[in-house]
Amino acid sequence: MIKCQNQIPLKGIWHDKPADKWEEGFLTGNGTMGLITYGHPIRETLIGNHSKLFLPMGNTFAVPDLSDLLPELRKIITEQGYQAGLAFHYQQARTRGYQGLTMSDPYHPAFHLFIETGIASVDHYQRSLNYQTGEIIVNYRGDGDQYQSRSFVSQADHIIVYQIENFNRKLKLKLKLDIYQIPQLDGTFDIQDNHFKWQYQYTKKSGGYTVLGQIIAPNALIDNQGQVISVTNTHQVRLLIRIIPNLSDQSLADHLTPYQLLYQAHQRIHQEKFDRVQLDLTDNDERAKNFTTLLEEAKQQPHLSKVFIEKVYDASRFMYICSSGESTPNLQGIWSGTFEPAWSGDYTFDTNVQLSIASALSSNLSEGLHGLFDLIDALLPGFKENAKNYYGCKGIMIPVHASNYGQHLHWNQEWPLHFWTCGAGWIGHWYYQYYRYTGDQQFLQQVALPYLEEVAKFYEDFLVEDPDGDYRFIPSYSAENGCGDNATQDVAVAKEVLNHLIEGYQVLAIDSEKITKWRQILNKLPAYQINEDGALKEWLTPGKAENYNHRHFSHLYPIFQSREFTAETDPVMFEASRQAFQKRLEAWLLNDDGDTTSTHGRMHTALCATQFHMPELIKEVIMLVIKNNCFYPSLMMSHYHNLEVFNVDGNGAFPQVIHEMLVDYHHQTLYLLQALPDDLDRGVIKGVKLPDQIEVVELAWDLTKRMIKLTLVSCLDHQLKVKLPLFSEASIQGRMHGEAVIQLAKNHPNHIEIKL
């Protein structure tokens, strides 16, 4: 059997069975276009995707003007409660034209292309996905002859490339290029010589999209029979496809470059991104195992599978490389094989988008965030309309769901998501962190601070004073867990936004009266509260009971996201947060009757566990995702147990969990192995980025030898503490146990050896 040298990729995954549905297929992408390959070799299916293709459903995206009702809404909430307030607001909205809870326009595929080989029997089947290069390879023997297909989405030439060949006899292919038959699309197909084109007009909105293709087949006979193209008399057929997110008259220029040269140009770009950060936990014999073996071994053994964790880590960084650039990963990354994805496959801003980008900066893929910033910029008119029409405020308000539009129409009395107002500030976290990781002061001045000021404008108009002079967030909503004034996340996000604005102005030496105004708001924000259980309250008002049994961890924002305090800076609030976390675990994660099996909830659990230095909980979370069958053959994750709903936000967060449990930096303190499970007793990680332009050149640990070797380099001079919370007797280059202060000289490698 002839094999390509990349057939069993050590930094990738392989399977000996074809995929029966698109979610089980192998996938790749270049940040703008995505490709899914799946199906039996007798009829292989290619699905093309584009990051901009959300199907217009004909809904009217106009926010009802309820701004004049805010005083009355607040009065009803105060006197009669939130249910009465919601009923009033919803009834008034319907009276003023609101169409009711409306899903965002759904993410959809650009094309399905079916490749029929005409073979009768298949054996020695093997398919592989190389995360390091972005290439999919399928090898099999058909009717006794060797076949191979290879595909990728070019980072260099911006085309989807697919090639199939038979090494012994000439191919007899049929390419079936169906036209979608759905009410929202009016499609046509045209072929001339070896070029073909799909063109789809939207029926519910002006515009549409175009798919251009070219068939390259040396000495082939190409017979066009409508939407079926026969290709014979050749050993090799190559397809080049480009998706254009508008109606275009252009054609695909002839690309006669051989596959290998096209691939090499792409590989150089993709692999450079992938190789920036590397995790090494195992050996090549383990890495060479197929998907079924890896998953079954990971499920059956009582300890964490090092090779499986490494594979998921690699797959997750691969997801982000493929899905970010022109936009940012949606719920499904950049892939879909359906016109009816769960939650529209949209950008869900109350936790999912944030998890999908969680590891972008630490994975040294900061350029991927440009797609997020471009998306937010495109949706800003809708965000401003939300703030103005719902609450009469300047500035911006991000909805929970968005795709083609930023207007907030996804709410009703059951799901009062328009009372959740901290989304814009939460997204602002990445604007400021982009500056901290890159040191780009031009970005800080021209992009980050203007965005954060738009968020602050909303607070300036929205907040009202209590009789005691403190500000009150009313209405307020802790994401999907209930209404109550002063949701803790509202306060935590506002604090972070205002502190980042003040710090940013100071970095740029801008003297402005705005700083005084922002400090005044900070000083009047409600204080965090601790309940009778000793736990941080989720709503900072008396009488509002806790609902611990819930998948969201919104009130722990100061822990998992903003890092507002630590055990050293505020031991009382840190311990109260730990208690709130423990209550959530008891009611949700560790309870068979818990609220949900959501992967996003498990990832936030793990991100909190890193900060509370809970390695056994990290292990438990990972084992729950493995044992409950949440991994497709590509190692993309499902939203629920048993492969229910293809969803990539778990993949976006997974590398960040690994990074934080190994090496984390905040409050001028470097935390090493702060939540490392004993199962991962040795390993090496290279290239991780930290805030304030610090890079972990290499971190190597060996618990059996009780040793850590660390090399750091920084673009700035730093003095920082080093802590090992799990190793109180650690000796850092001969200094006192568990903690030391080190100096990082600008651009000078600093080598640290630690005895555990």
Position 590 scores a pLDDT of 63
pLDDT, average across residues 38-49: 96
Indicate whether 304 belongs to any domain. Answer: no
Residue 738 has pLDDT above 70, yes or no: no
The angle that helices 599-611 and 649-662 make with each other, rounded to 10 degrees, is: 10
Q: What is the pLDDT of residues 649-674, one digit of tens each?
A: 999 999 999 999 999 999 999 999 99
Q: What is the pLDDT of residues 323-340, one digit of tens each?
A: 999 999 999 999 999 999
- The one-letter code for the residue type at 12 is G
Pairing of strands 471-472, 43-50: unpaired
Please state, in angstroms and rounded to a whole number, the distance separating the CA atoms of residues 210 and 189: 10
pLDDT band at 66 (very low <50, low <70, confident <90, very high): very high
Residue 5 has pLDDT above 50, yes or no: no
Indicate whether 361 belongs to any domain. Answer: no
If asked whether residues 375 and 228 sit together in one domain, one would say no
- Total count of domains within the chain: 2
pLDDT band at 2 (very low <50, low <70, confident <90, very high): very low
If asked whether residues 497 and 382 sit together in one domain, one would say yes
Residue 593 has pLDDT above 70, yes or no: no
If asked whether residues 262 and 372 sit together in one domain, one would say no
If asked whether residues 250 and 388 sit together in one domain, one would say no
pLDDT band at 592 (very low <50, low <70, confident <90, very high): low
**The CATH number of the domain where 114 resides is what?**
2.70.98.50
**The CATH number of the domain where 441 resides is what?**
1.50.10.10
Residue 713 has pLDDT above 80, yes or no: yes
* Burial environment of residue 553 by CB neighbours within 10 A (0 to 12, 13 to 18, 19 or more): buried
Position 740 scores a pLDDT of 83
If asked whether residues 371 and 267 sit together in one domain, one would say no
The angle that helices 615-627 and 649-662 make with each other, rounded to 10 degrees, is: 150
If asked whether residues 254 and 380 sit together in one domain, one would say no
Domain that holds residue 476: 366-526
Higher-scoring residue by pLDDT: 114, 586: 114
If asked whether residues 270 and 372 sit together in one domain, one would say no
Which domain-ending residue is among 494, 526, 558? Answer: 526
Residues 387, 65 contacting (CB under 8 angstroms): no
pLDDT band at 6 (very low <50, low <70, confident <90, very high): very low
Q: What is the pLDDT of residues 123-179, one digit of tens each?
A: 999 999 999 999 999 999 999 999 999 999 999 999 999 999 998 999 999 999 989
If asked whether residues 388 and 266 sit together in one domain, one would say no
Residue 59 has pLDDT above 70, yes or no: yes
pLDDT, average across residues 688-695: 98
If asked whether residues 261 and 378 sit together in one domain, one would say no
If asked whether residues 139 and 254 sit together in one domain, one would say yes
Higher-scoring residue by pLDDT: 99, 596: 99
Work out the mean pLDDT of the chain and round it to a whole number.
95
Q: What is the pLDDT of residues 615-658, one digit of tens each?
A: 999 999 999 999 999 999 999 999 999 999 999 999 999 999 99
Three-class SS state of 146? strand
Q: What is the pLDDT of residues 431-467, one digit of tens each?
A: 999 999 999 999 999 999 999 999 999 999 999 999 9
690-721 per-residue burial string, b: 16 or more CB within 10 A, e: under 16: bbbbbbbebbebebeeeebebebbbeeebebe
Q: What is the pLDDT of residues 411-424, one digit of tens each?
A: 999 999 999 999 99
Which domain-ending residue is among 473, 507, 526? Answer: 526
Position 60 scores a pLDDT of 83
Q: What percent of the chain is predicted at pLDDT more than 70?
A: 97
pLDDT, average across residues 589-607: 76
Which domain-ending residue is among 242, 274, 306? Answer: 274
Position 3 scores a pLDDT of 41
Dihedral of CA atoms 52, 55, 58, 60 in degrees, nearest 10, equals -40
Residue 13 has pLDDT above 70, yes or no: yes
Indicate whether 568 belongs to any domain. Answer: no
Indicate whether 493 belongs to any domain. Answer: yes
Position 594 scores a pLDDT of 52
Q: What is the pLDDT of residues 358-407, one digit of tens each?
A: 999 999 999 999 999 999 999 999 999 999 999 999 999 999 999 999 99
Q: What percent of the chain is predicted at pLDDT more than 90?
A: 89
- The one-letter code for the residue type at 109 is P
If asked whether residues 38 and 161 sit together in one domain, one would say yes
Position 1 scores a pLDDT of 34
Tokens encoding 673: 């192995």
Nearest CA among 162, 243, 255 for reference residue 199: 243
- The one-letter code for the residue type at 190 is D
Q: 465 — phi, psi (to 5°)?
A: -90, 140
**Continuous segment of H or E residues that includes residue 358:** none
Q: Which of 91-100, 219-228, 399-408, 533-542 has the lowest mean pLDDT?
A: 219-228
pLDDT band at 741 (very low <50, low <70, confident <90, very high): confident
Please state, in angstroms and rounded to a whole number, the distance separating the CA atoms of residues 700 and 552: 34
pLDDT band at 735 (very low <50, low <70, confident <90, very high): low
Residue 723 has pLDDT above 60, yes or no: yes
Nearest CA among 27, 56, 113 for reference residue 334: 27
Pairing of strands 171-176, 278-280: unpaired
Indicate whether 531 belongs to any domain. Answer: no
Q: Which of 4-13, 428-437, 564-573 has the lowest mean pLDDT?
A: 4-13
Indicate whether 660 belongs to any domain. Answer: no
Indicate whether 522 belongs to any domain. Answer: yes
- The one-letter code for the residue type at 568 is E
If asked whether residues 379 and 241 sit together in one domain, one would say no
Q: What is the pLDDT of residues 243-262, one digit of tens each?
A: 999 999 988 888 789 999 99
Indicate whether 559 belongs to any domain. Answer: no
pLDDT, average across residues 270-283: 98
